[in-house]
Amino acid sequence: MSAVELKSKKIGVLMGGLSGEREVSLRSGENCFRALSSLGYDVVRIDAMRDVGMRLAKAEVEVAFLALHGRFGEDGTIQGLLELMGIPYTGSGVLASALGMNKVAAKKVVRQSGIPTPDYCEIGPQETAVEAARRVIDELGVPVMLKPVEEGSSLGVAKCKTETELARDIDIGRREFGRVFAERFVSGTEITVGVIERDGEAITLPTLELVPKNEFYDYEAKYTHGMTEFFIPARLDPAVAREAESLSLAAFEAIGCRGVARVDFMVPSDGIPLFTEVNTLPGMTDLSDLPAQAAAAGIGYPELVETILLSAGGGT
């Protein structure tokens, strides 16, 4: 749809929701709401709680702008509801959203597509934490990164340096997040590449290098002012930066993303970017990566939001 067509429709900015990233989503959503309002769109805020279908119907929303993060918003759940309701929406469809949220499934898909990713170990539900910790360290060594299979914003991510730490964190992770997996720790430069679609063509934004003050880029480092230093463009050899951009587009295509995504990598000393995850609904707060990357490309915040809106699909 064109901007002219969209300005004749009621746009609902879906925010908040039920995940552990609710507060971040509210910040993203408010920013996007204000941007769309400033551009003359007929826009309404929708808190995506369990009665979101009724809220959408009551507000007579015709197009959904998704500013949700985490479970029930980024995992294909809300996308499926919008498909059933016949409401076009921003971001990826049901399958790509579910794949992007499931870090293990995403790693399997991108690796099969020839995109390098750090080695990892799945942790079975029948294994005790002690058994799993011993096996993981035998296969991956230490330190190792323990991650929830389905969470965003680095929630629940832990860097484990001993077998005892790992067993403890597996227990904690299972209680708080359900399934967890272990990923080989990669020492190097942490980067992220934004991908947006314009006129149906996926393009990359300038690569951003993240230097957190914490031991790694955790939830606090992501959303606390002054806790992470950004370098745009990343301080990489130009050939490495180009490879990261190429791999980002390849991952975007392999997962089946639409509209917008952010692809994260670790770059070790050999200069080969290693895919860690894809975020199918990147944060849009004042401290988020994607708006900073867009600004470095000369794309202001309202223009970025409108570009994402123009890529809305599905639901028909």
Q: Which of 150, 277, 289, 306 is labelled catalytic? A: 277
Rounded to whole angstroms, the Cα distance separating 130 from 164 reads 8
Distance, in Å, from the CA atom of 300 to the CA atom of 137, rounded to the nearest integer, reads 46
Question: Are 17 and 25 spatial neighbours (Cβ–Cβ below 8 Å)?
Answer: yes
What are the CA-CA distances from residue 283 to residues 28, 106, 244 (Å)? Answer: 6, 19, 20
Active-site entry in 12, 93, 283, 315: 283
Is residue 262 annotated as a catalytic residue, yes or no? Answer: yes
Confirm whether 277 is a catalytic residue.
Answer: yes
Q: E strands along 86-138, which residues?
A: 120-122
Give me the phi and psi of 276, to 5 degrees please.
Answer: -110, -40
Assess whether 264 carries a catalytic annotation.
Answer: yes
Which of these is catalytic: 25, 31, 97, 153? 153
Cβ atoms within 10 A of the Cβ of 279, count?
22
Q: Could you confirm whether 300 is annotated as catalytic?
A: no
Q: Which of 12, 16, 17, 21 is catalytic?
A: 21
CA distance 30 to 53: 20
CA dihedral 140, 145, 147, 149 (to 10 degrees): -30
223 is a catalytic site residue: yes
91 is catalytic: no
> Which residue is catalytic, options 75, 151, 262, 288?
262
- The stretches of 150-270 forming alpha helices (DSSP H) are 163-177, 219-223, 238-255
- Active-site residue, selected from the candidate residues 28, 223, 243, 301: 223
Q: Is 21 a catalytic residue?
A: yes
Amino acid letter, 19: S
The one catalytic residue in 218, 264, 289, 306 is: 264
The residue whose two tokens read 């200069």 is 271
How far is the C-alpha of 51 from the C-alpha of 48, rounded, in Å? Answer: 7
102 is an active site residue = no
The residues carrying an active-site annotation are: 21, 153, 223, 262, 264, 277, 279, 283
